Amino acid sequence: MRRSAHGWLGSALALALVGAAIAAASPAGAAEVGVNITSNAGMASGKIAADIRASRPAWVRVFLVWSYVEPTQGNYSASWIQVYQRFFASLPAATQIDVDVVGAPSWANGGSSSSAAPPVNASDYAGFLNYLVNTFHGRVKAWEIWNEEGTPNWWTGTAAQYADLLKATYPAIKSADPNATVIMGASDPAFLTQLYQDGAKGSFDGVAVHTDTACDVTSPYVYEYNPQTTTVNQYFFLGFTGIHALMVANGDGSKPIYMTEIGWASTASECQTGAWAGQKLAGVSQQMQATFLQQAYHCLAQPQYSYVKAAMWFEMYDAGNSTAPLENYGLLNTNFSPKPAFAAFEQESLHGDQLTGPCGSFNGPAIRILRPTPGQRYSGPLKIAVSASSPANGVREITIQLSKHSRVHFFARHFPARFGGSIAWRSAAKLKLGPHTIRVIVTDKLGNVSTATIHVVHMRAPLRQRRHH
């Protein structure tokens, strides 16, 4: 979640602890369902426990704050360890637990008061993880190394420092539990690219991706490509495909992605974050939140995305009573009454994906070349007319490639479902005699591209026409 670390770590009793339960049967290749719970009050609530037993998600995700558990070097808080032990013991044996370890104590981070400051010595963090793995005796399935390292709210160090953290911690965890899964965070493609350059390869088993972007009000089916690419922008749900492409390019295509946070806030407040501040809503209706949840898991049930191992909803219940988006991601209200999203979540967890059809529309616009006709012979200016349609996404642009060095563009306003353009190409009369190819390129609102070609033949003008000129 793109939020300040202080929202999570402000008080010891607000420590994040996740609840979830037995893995549910899911279609082959579908991402396993999980949930985040972000307070001790939720962990201790009988209502939350009952909802966990009813929905039976496969994964739980908990935050463990290093500075709370090891406030001074080598001295561990027995009370905090017991909190986790009791909670883990309360979960069914099949529950898979992901523990995200964050927040270096001041003794380890050079005296900084910031919970986002990295440890000075990566070996201190590695030693702490080794202690935790031994303490919980294999009960934890996955260890997540820090949180959202590409954002200064959570990590003020460099990519190289994080790579060093991975390289020190990976063997420390594996020596205590060879079967443990080590997850690194890399929602930002640029950060992941830098991590590979800094030698992180070989020091993780999976990559954590977060899709609960602030002020996100778009469906999981909606996406846009980065300019001049076919890479989905990271701030859309399907942006995880770009992360996977980077993993493939670096020889890690067989490693899974763990979506350790997915979600949409249910609020009618105005966006106050980033480039869209004051220009749109910060969230969606409760019913739309439920719809987007279903669509997200439907996307992750598609065979081409089988590399996504798990998707964990952020979060189980609302964090406060205000309309602030960060307090309204829950499946439940603050009084633990269910939102429509909880019923949708329960359906996904217990019975799997129930939707049909594609996840989003990746088909480019349909193209009709109205003029010229195929194989048309011409001798003077050439009239060209093109029509394009994209009812699902809308048309953005038509480009007519006239020759190797000549083209014309038509830009649509408001992305209409149907759009056209026409010209009288006078320079066609100056082309050399013989066959020529005209290429039409159409782009929709999301960046999908379609192409079409037509062949024409430049003929010598009739003698009468030449004499006339």
d(C-alpha 323, C-alpha 327), whole Å: 7
357: CB partners within 8 A, 6+ apart:
none
Going by pLDDT thresholds of 50, 70 and 90, the confidence category of residue 2 is: very low
**pLDDT value at position 378?**
95
The domains of the chain, with CATH numbers, are: 5-351 (3.20.20.80), 366-468 (2.60.40.10)
Among residues 31, 56, 66, which one has the least CA distance to residue 209? 31
> Could you read off the pLDDT of 392-440 as tens digits, one per residue?
889 999 999 998 889 999 999 889 999 999 999 999 999 999 999 999 9
Mean pLDDT, the chain, whole residue set: 90
- 43-57, 119-133, 425-439: which range is least confident on average? 43-57
**pLDDT value at position 62?**
86
**pLDDT value at position 468?**
52
**pLDDT value at position 325?**
93
Q: Which has more pLDDT, 27 or 335?
A: 335
* DSSP per position, 297-334: HHHTTSGGGTTEEEEEES-SB-S-SSS-GGG---SB-T
d(C-alpha 260, C-alpha 262), whole Å: 7
Can you point out the beta strands (E) in 44-156? 59-65, 96-102, 142-145
Going by pLDDT thresholds of 50, 70 and 90, the confidence category of residue 361 is: confident
Residue 251's region, left for phi above 0, alpha for psi from -120 to 50, else beta, is left
**pLDDT value at position 463?**
57
Q: What average pLDDT does range 79-104 have in this prediction? A: 90
pLDDT at 291 over 90: yes
